[in-house]
Amino acid sequence: MGTAWTAQDEEAFSKRGWSLQEAESQSEKLQSAGHAVAVDRPCTEGDGIHVLTSEDREVARAAGVEVLQTANQCSRFVPASGAASRMFAALHRTLNPTLEESLQQQAQAFPFWSTCQREALEALAPAERAVQARSWMLHAETGWSHLPKGLIPFHWYAQEGVSRSSFEEHATEWSALAGSAPLHFTVPERYQAHIESIWDGSDHITTSVQSPSTDTLAWDIEADAHARHADGSLLFRPGGHGALLKNLAGVETPFILIRNIDNVVPHRLMADRNEEQRVLLGRCAELARQRDALLGRSDRGKKQWVEDAIAWLRPFDAYAGDAADADALVALLDRPVRVAGMVLNEGAPGGGPFWISQANGRTVPSIVESAELPAGGLTGGTHFNPVDLACNVQRADGSQYDVLQFADQGRYFTGQKDWNGRSIRILERPGLWNGGMDEWLTQFIEVPAMTFAPVKTVLDLLDPIRRG
């Protein structure tokens, strides 16, 4: 039986371009117990994780340089729609000893202070310094915790007397790698104009906002009903980073590099990271060319072609040989390609590479979030997903893949949040690099740990890597 939606509800759906079927589907997902991805085994070295030889790296690097030197071939896509609230979350609670000590001893070293604030903190006794720093950071109007993460200064350059935000560092690093190739950020609508003003006159840097059509409903756990505001209107929430698949679909270059907004390094470390980007991109370009060569062969469908297609597909699909005929193999081949860098797992929370069993019987490599794993998780994982992706979204004939058609909508997330003092169950769309790329041709390669330097908490800004 369907939900008894009000006229106000249906108007809200219409404004977002929803059908009643979309609303019903979300409602059912919110009320279900959720699900776990059918994980077969972790990807490990030699079984889903490729460790490139020095020769492999040189070949890939050359291919990456070729792509970067060809006009209109490559862009970078940076999800940056979220606020920095999680980054400062620990400051809203009773401070643990580690955080307290850091604020007492090093609070003046945060890169976002003005010169006046920095000098004032240095003059205070340690206990007073911690209190003052906390107050300034959490201030409702002039603090940092309510801003988009990309606007927060991540690095202080003492010699120049300037700090640079994550947005600025991404632009600096990308310029060194790709010149004036397109750079795209997804940003909060409220701050879009301000963010765009940072690069006034730089036509190659663009922004977009998350479409309201990708919003999701929420469930009031106590009331056992859809979460609603005091006026009776439904609570809608952003649909997680999986909602950005629509934004990604708007990028028109054949190759796209994807990296999170908080994964940046100071200027002195950018050159090494860009070398790894060339390798990642080049590996993706090699695979895309191999795919296109198979699809473009004159003997397509014949015995030798079938054998070659199956052999090429096996690293992407453990059961490629079970394809019923040549048309089935063409369908498996004719997909976007992504190469995802994976770092050795040193205990960081988050997703990782696994072989998963799909409903259609295929067993494929996929990035799986911890929330998607069976209760109790899995052991044996050796690598971690830092979100460092090189993607190909264009065929040899220049036509774009419709990336929305290669997502698994069944890989949604549910979780629990506090909202106005009430516990609500939230719904997130399949993650951008999880279920959102479920049907892509995926290869994982091991990358150095230095490619992953995120800022997850405010204390990460005090790491020596950012202050040298």
DSSP state letters, 378-447 = -S---EE---EEEEE-B-TTSPBP-GGGG--TT--EEEEEEETTEEEEEEEPSPTTTGGGTTSEEEEEE-
Question: What is the rounded CA–CA span in Å between residue 75 and residue 68?
Answer: 9
Phi, psi of 19 (to 5 degrees): -90, 165
Closest CA to 216 of 364, 435, 78, 13: 13
pLDDT score of 380 more than 80: no
For residue 285, is pLDDT > 80? yes
Q: How far apart are CA 50 and CA 43, in angstroms?
A: 10
Residue 193 burial class via C-beta count within 10 angstroms: exposed 0-12, middle 13-18, buried 19 and up: exposed
Name the packing angle between helices 303-313 and 326-333 (round to 10°).
40
CA 452/CA 460 separation, integer angstroms: 13
Tally of CA atoms within 13 A in the half-sphere of 31 that contains its CB: 13
pLDDT of residue 158: 87
Closest CA to 245 of 388, 385, 75, 438: 438
Q: What CA–CA distance (Å, rounded) separates 94 from 242?
A: 33
Burial 29-38 (b: 16+ CB within 10 A, else e): bbeeeeeebe
Q: What is the mean pLDDT of residues 76-80?
A: 97
Q: What is the pLDDT of residue 468?
A: 57
pLDDT higher than threshold 80 for residue 265: yes
Highest mean pLDDT (candidates 30-39, 154-163, 367-376, 438-447): 438-447
**Mean pLDDT over the full length of the chain:** 92
- What's residue 375's pLDDT? 67
Higher pLDDT, 348 or 4: 4
Number of helices followed by number of strands (H, E) in the chain: 12, 20
pLDDT at residue 379 in the model = 65
- The answer to whether residue 230 scores a pLDDT higher than 70 is yes
Query: What's the pTM?
Result: 0.93
Residue 279 has which token pair? 């390798």
Name the CA radius of gyration of the chain, rounded: 24
Q: Which residues are bridge partners to 442 per DSSP?
A: 338
* Residue 247 CB neighbours (<10 A): 22
Q: Please give the average per-residue pLDDT across 365-387, as a whole number.
A: 82
Q: How far apart are CA 364 and CA 362, in angstroms?
A: 6
Percentage of the chain beyond pLDDT 90 is: 76
Most confident among 94-108, 280-294, 375-389 (mean pLDDT): 280-294
> How does 194-226 read in b/e, with b if 16+ C-beta sit within 10 Å?
ebeeebeeeebbebbebebebbbbbbbeeeeeb
Q: How confident is the model at residue 67 (pLDDT cuts 50, 70, 90)?
A: very high
